[in-house]
Amino acid sequence: MNTTNHHYAALVLRVALGTMFIAHALLKILVFTPSGTAGFFASLGVPGWLAYPVMGAELAGGILLLIGLQTRWVSLALIPVLLGSITLVHGANGWLFANEGGGWEYPLFLIAASVVMALLGDGAWSVKSLAARPAKVETA
């Protein structure tokens, strides 16, 4: 198995997942508004206040993924948010995300990608990998 580029593969996946989680958080915050998102959660039969930790988890988790900090744990911690989206929102809409209301294929794919991210780790250009680089000493 060629593992030469696995750090870059992890970087690409980490940036993609982080961007997706941030985009979904910002959609809830800026477009639907926090109170609107809380109202939607309440319409699903779950406490409306649960929208706030979900938005926070998506935003903070996305940022942590982008910078590559605690990538394994963050990826695993975000899986319950995705499971909730399948169970409460998309599950009844069928398999295809193109279905009205969005099906559950996309959140399931994101769960698989999150598991892969947890297995791969931080990858290149993460906080950890950048901190581990030796400092360059200039000589005159």
Q: Residues 39-88: pLDDT tens digits?
A: 999 999 999 999 999 999 999 999 999 999 999 999 999 999 999 999 99
Domain span at 47: 6-127
Q: Please name the amino acid found at residue 41.
A: F
Say how many CA atoms lie within 13 Å of 90 toward its Cβ: 19
Say how many CA atoms lie within 13 Å of 45 toward its Cβ: 4
Assess if residue 1 is contained within a domain: no
Assess if residue 24 is contained within a domain: yes
Q: Provide the percentage of residues in the chain whose pLDDT is more than 90.
A: 72
What is the tally of structural domains in the chain?
1
Assess if residue 105 is contained within a domain: yes
pLDDT higher for 50 or 124?
50
> Please, are residues 38 and 56 in contact by the beta-carbon 8 Å criterion?
no
Given a cut of 90, is residue 128 above it in pLDDT? no
Given a cut of 80, is residue 4 above it in pLDDT? no
Mean residue pLDDT across the chain = 91
Assess if residue 17 is contained within a domain: yes
| Global confidence as pTM | 0.87
Assess if residue 60 is contained within a domain: yes
Nearest to 124 by CA among 77, 73, 71, 79: 71
pLDDT of 1: 60
pLDDT higher for 7 or 1?
7
pLDDT of 136: 66
Given a cut of 90, is residue 30 above it in pLDDT? yes
Host H or E run for residue 11:
helix 6-26
Task: Please identify which residue in the block is written with the tokens 């209301």.
Answer: 101
Assess if residue 94 is contained within a domain: yes
Query: 31: burial class by Cβ within 10 Å (0-12, 13-18, 19+)?
Result: exposed
Q: How confident is the model at residue 130 (pLDDT cuts 50, 70, 90)?
A: confident
> Please, are residues 111 and 83 in contact by the beta-carbon 8 Å criterion?
yes
Assess if residue 137 is contained within a domain: no
pLDDT of 101: 85
Assess if residue 76 is contained within a domain: yes
